[in-house]
Chain A
Amino acid sequence: AQRVTQPEKLLSVFKGAPVELKCNYSYSGSPELFWYVQYSRQRLQLLLRHISRESIKGFTADLNKGETSFHLKKPFAQEEDSAMYYCALSGGYSSASKIIFGSGTRLSIRP
């Protein structure tokens, strides 16, 4: 079955500390993985996707097929990173398909 697991509901770190938001997935095939972010009183928006191999706002995520993980990392947290983060999985590269979201992790950056 397709599943995305984010084990931490809440992650609190100090400003300047490294951040790692965990995401594990279950999928029989080659999925596409995403991280979405929702800042306070804003709509959900794409942060990054694994096929782009980008670093957005200092965040990176590497797809580890052996561990079926797609953890989101940032070396030095900033206060403006406080938000809700969702890991998501899609089964299709070449066309629209069902997208499964994890339950989300609330990241809180302490000054």
Chain B
Amino acid sequence: GAGVSQSPSNKVTEKGKDVELRCDPISGHTALYWYRQSLGQGLEFLIYFQGNSAPDKSGLPSDRFSAERTGGSVSTLTIQRTQQEDSAVYLCASSPHMGSQYFGPGTRLTVL
């Protein structure tokens, strides 16, 4: 595989709609991370998976945000009832056990 991929690359949605963002990690990487990067801000940790389980969900901003990972591979981040403040670039990264993170290109979400 070429690396971590994310889809869609851009998503424009209306306030109140639900969105799903997808991350395909590098094959064999056990850990998967989601971050949010808002304009002028750093990277905000959202959640990480070790295998299919999420030991730390403390970064999810509200109960409108959820994520899952199946088969130790693909992960989806779901945002329900989107708000304008959800507009950001959502980054996914994966890493092998004890390894450094490899980032995807991100999904730019715009909530109108």
- List residues of A whose CB falls within 8 A of some B CB: 6, 34, 43-46, 49, 86, 88, 93-104
Q: Is the CB of B101 within 8 A of A99?
A: yes
CB-contact partner of A96 in B35, B50, B105, under 8 A: B50
Q: Is the CB of A44 within 8 A of B91?
A: yes
Interface of B is mostly: strand
B100, CB-defined interface residue at 8 Å = yes
Interface of A is mostly: loop
B32-69 interface with A by 8 A CB criterion: 33, 35, 41-45, 48, 50, 55-56, 58-59
Task: List the B side residues contacting A104 at CB < 8 Å.
Answer: 42-43
Q: Which of A95, A96, A98, A101 has the most CB of B within 10 A?
A: A96
Q: Is the CB of B30 within 8 A of A96?
A: yes
Task: List the B side residues contacting A98 at CB < 8 Å.
Answer: 45, 48, 56, 58-59
B74-112 interface with A by 8 A CB criterion: 91, 93, 95, 97-98, 100-106
